[in-house]
Amino acid sequence: MGPTPYHYLPLWARVTIERLDSYTEPVRPDEIPPGTLRLVRLTREGVLCAGDLVATRRLGACEVMRVHTQQSMEVKSQSSGQHYLLSELDFGADARIATEQPVSDAP
């Protein structure tokens, strides 16, 4: 068969190639793609409201403080405690801002 192409390389190059062949990337936690808002915990299914947890790539986990419009909300970063306004969100054409009616105990 003849010599392999590696045979002609200097020793340092062969060692480097062997190390790269056996190298594996460390396991990373599930990363959030840029521009994505991940819903971490919702109080009610299908409804995003104050107190829910969301996450972004840059801010990490955040608590929803207030939903301003169908395209913006105010969140508080859990790591720093700072407030941020997330805008230009797209929840779809069917997204609506709903005001919750207080639950009354009266008959």
Per-residue pLDDT, averaged over 13-24, amounts to: 60
pLDDT at site 70: 86
- CB contact at 8 A, 50 and 66: yes
What lies within 8 Å, CB to CB, of 49 at 6+ separation is: 43, 64, 67, 100
Q: Supply the mean pLDDT for the chain.
A: 77
54 vs 8, higher pLDDT: 54
Which tens digits make up the pLDDT trace of 47-98? 888 999 999 888 889 999 999 988 899 999 999 999 999 988 888 778 787 7
Per-residue pLDDT, averaged over 25-43, amounts to: 73
Burial label for 86, CB within 10 Å (0-12, 13-18, 19+), is middle
